[in-house]
A and B are shown apart, each in its own frame.
Chain A
Amino acid sequence: AIQMTQSPSSLSASVGDRVTITCRASQGIRKDLGWYQQKPGKAPKLLIHDASSLQSGVPSRFSGSGSGTDFTLTISSLQPEDFATYYCLQLYDYPWTFGQGTRVEVK
C-alpha cells in the first residue's frame, strides 16, 4: 500500500499567518491527491482535488501544489475558521490511503 506521510503532525499559528502542510507519498502518485479539512465533531470537507484544483466554494486562500511524491497545502492567511485538522488522501492506487493528519492550533 502507498504510505502518505504528512508533516508536521501539528502546528501552532496565529491569524494572518501563512501555513504550509506537506504530504509525501511512498511512490509516485501523479496528481491523484486530495486535501481535506476536518473540524471536531464534523465530517471532513474537500478543499483541493487533483493536487491543485480548488474545490468549488472553498476560499482562495487555500491552494495546493505538487505532483509525483511531494505535495503541499498552503493557507495564505490563516483565518479563525481554519483551525482544524487537515488530511491528504491519495487516489492513485488501491487501497486509497490518508495521511495521518495535521492539527492546526491557535498559537
Chain B
Amino acid sequence: EVQLVQSGAEVKKPGESLKISCKGSGYSFSTYWMAWVRQMPGKGLEWMGSIYPGDSDTRYSPSFQGQVIMSVDKSLSTAYLQWRSLKASDTAMYYCARTMVRGIPACFDSWGQGSLVTVSS
C-alpha cells in the first residue's frame, strides 16, 4: 500500500526557517514524481512544484520559485519542502502528493495527510 506520511504541525515566527518532510513507503520512491500543494486557510489548491527523486529534477511554479526549496533524500525515501525565511503569508496547509505514473509527471493519486504551518509573531 502506498503511503505518504508528513511531518507534524509547526508554529514559527516570521523570518524563521523551516523544513517539512514527506516520507513515502510501499512503492519505489525514486521513480515517481512528488508534488507539493499549498492550501491557504479557507482557500483552494495551488500547485507549488514537483520533484523527481531519481535525479532531483525540479519544476517550480513561478509563484513559488525562489520562495521555497524542494529536495529529497532517496536513502530515507523522504521529500522535503524548505523555507529560509518564513512570512505570515506562508501560513497554510501543505500537502505532498505522488504522481500516478512511474517516471513521468501525471495526476497525483496518493496524498500525504498535510502539514499545517502557522507563521505568527
Contacts and interface: CB of A to CB of B under 8 A. Distances in A.
Nearest to A87: B45
Given A36-B45, A49-B107, A97-B47, A43 B62 contact: no
A26 B109 CA distance: 25
Contact of A95 (B45, B63, B112): B63
Interface in A91-107: 91, 94-101
A101 B45 contact: yes
Given A34-B107, A87-B44, A95 B113 contact: no
A96 B106 CA distance: 10
- What is the size category of the interface that chain A forms with chain B? 20 to 34
Nearest to A97: B47
Given A98-B44, A100-B44, A43 B100 contact: no
Given A43-B113, A89-B107, A96 B44 contact: no
Q: Looking at chain B, what size class is its interface with the partner chain?
A: 20 to 34
Interface in B65-121: 95, 97, 100, 105-109, 111-114
Contact of B47 (A50, A96, A100): A96
B106 A91 contact: yes
Contacts of A100: 44
B44 A43 contact: no
A38 B61 CA distance: 22
28 contacts: A1-B62, A43-B111, A43-B113, A44-B45, A44-B95, A44-B97, A44-B108, A45-B111, A46-B107, A49-B107, A49-B109, A87-B44, A87-B45, A89-B47, A94-B59, A95-B47, A95-B59, A95-B61, A95-B62, A95-B63, A96-B35, A97-B47, A98-B45, A98-B46, A99-B44, A100-B44, A101-B44, A101-B45
Interface of B: 35, 37, 44-47, 49-50, 59-63, 95, 97, 100, 105-109, 111-114
